[in-house]
Amino acid sequence: MLYIDGQWQAAASGATFAVTDPATGKVLDHVADGGAADARRAIEAAAAAFDGWAGLTAYQRSEKLYAAYHLMLERREDLAKLMTSEQGKPLRAARIEVGYAADFLLWFAEEAKRVYGQTIPSNRAEQRFMVLHQPVGVCAAITPWNYPVSMLTRKIGPALAAGCTIVLKPAEQTPLCAIEVFKILDEVGLPPGVVNLVPTSDPVPVGAELLSAPEVRKLTFTGSTEVGKLLMAQAATTMKRVSMELGGHAPFIVYDDADPKRAATGAAMVKVLNTGQACICPNRLYVQRGIADAFIAALADRIGKMQAGSGFTEGVQIGPLVDQPSLEKVDRQVRDAVAKGATVVTGGQRLTDGPLADGYFFAPTVLTGVTDEMVIYREETFGPVAPVIVFDTEDEVLAMANDTEYGLASYVYTNDLGRAYRSIEKLKFGIVGVNDINPTGAAAPFGGVKSSGLGREGGQDGITEYLDTKLVGLSF
């Protein structure tokens, strides 16, 4: 179903589309297939609701977000099970994501009350300057499939806290999770039109309507760099505010003063995060020559023991990839690397035995001998493949790490404080984790530089993306 102006409804066309389980290929449900006309109605509803919602006090908006936070935690298990069915991640990881999603509602419930203004002295005795921060207006949000609950609240939370209304188009692979999130928002009593949901199997006409509408004053998007650039170009025609969380190609640097086993454990855990389908997953693992053998052995041992399968199976750490094209991309990158001289230490193939036959599974893989001529060295993988590159000097590895158009996450393992600081300052990435594979949280600003995006989500910066600055000059 669509959720427009406070009502659950069918698409104007009456069309629906199937949602499948990536572990089995079976159809889970059918969802209303929204189109341009539905997007137009959602925009109109959001525009009509804006003045009323923005006119509430910050405390009133905050109360709704607090209520949604508590209700989401109450439904944590049901949401997690749905996520495992629809997106494929292991149930334990799905439970963690629901908690992470709720954290954004809680954080921005608090930040709603901390949108401060400013008074500025003037060089004229009879003049004062005042600065106000006000909601930008109707926001369009386009969210990805890899984190189908938390990426919704990371956008909805700050938008509502700031006083904006929103129209959200979820990924076509995971609309069921979005519907359940909007059921929560409906039940906490948000006024009609404040939040609107338009799932679709064809994002082009819905996206075109959102981007061309003058009523929509901001676009927030999480997805590929290629699509993000197209959306930015279209958003420019109506001068919309834009925030983009795009692709990554994270380096993971292990210096020779680090513990190779500890570094390998960290690398393995973050590499297979969400089956490698996270923009912060490391795509290039650089290890200094002196500990390369020990690191590779520990990494291969840990990754090689990981179990792939349905996310509902106890002990499974590797779920399916989201769809057939994703599976083919990972397989193509591995075959290209091997053809150009890389060595498969463990894994390296699609998994088709027994219960895995009908799903989109790829074995957790470690490659060595990876060079910059290989596709996997240059392109984001979005799969459970760890390419290892050996380096000799600090200057060499920092140059290699920065040799990419992307700039989202990066990782450094070292026990040398000076080396850590030099790496932090020289890495051209929006996020640096030093001996830390989880440098994220609702209270922290998340985002990248270069082709990895614009703006920040989470933290104090997160709400400013939804606020305009107004200067007032007062003379007396």
Q: Active-site residue among 279, 281, 380, 465?
A: 279
How far apart (Å, rounded) are the C-alpha atoms in residues 196 and 190? 11
Please, which residues bridge with residue 253 across strands?
286, 412
Is 145 exposed, middle or buried (CB count within 10 Å of its CB: 0-12, 13-18, 19+)?
A: buried
- For helices 150-162 and 175-187, what crossing angle results, to 10°? 40
- Smallest CA-to-CA distance from 1 within 194, 204, 176 is with 176
Q: What is the DSSP letter of 200?
A: -
Q: Answer yes or no: are the C-beta atoms of 79 and 177 closer than 8 Å.
A: yes
Q: How many Cα atoms are found within 13 Å in the side-chain-facing hemisphere of 260?
A: 17
245 is a catalytic site residue: yes
Q: Answer yes or no: are the C-beta atoms of 217 and 136 closer than 8 Å.
A: yes
Give the pairing type, strands 282-288 and 250-254. parallel
Q: Answer yes or no: are the C-beta atoms of 25 and 359 closer than 8 Å.
A: yes
Residues in contact with 67: Cβ distance below 8 Å, sequence separation at least 6, in sequence order: 188, 189
Q: Active-site residue among 245, 380, 457, 465?
A: 245
Rounded alpha-carbon distances, angstroms, from residue 375 to 272, 337, 342: 19, 7, 12
How close are the terminal C-alpha atoms of the chain, in Å?
56
- Smallest CA-to-CA distance from 193 within 67, 54, 50 is with 50
How far apart (Å, rounded) are the C-alpha atoms in residues 213 and 216? 6
Q: Which two tokens stand for residue 74?
A: 């109450």
110 is a catalytic site residue: no
Q: How many Cα atoms are found within 13 Å in the side-chain-facing hemisphere of 34?
A: 32
Q: Answer yes or no: are the C-beta atoms of 447 and 455 closer than 8 Å.
A: yes
In this structure, the chain runs to a length of 476
Q: 3-class DSSP state for residue 30?
A: strand
Catalytic residue positions?
245, 279
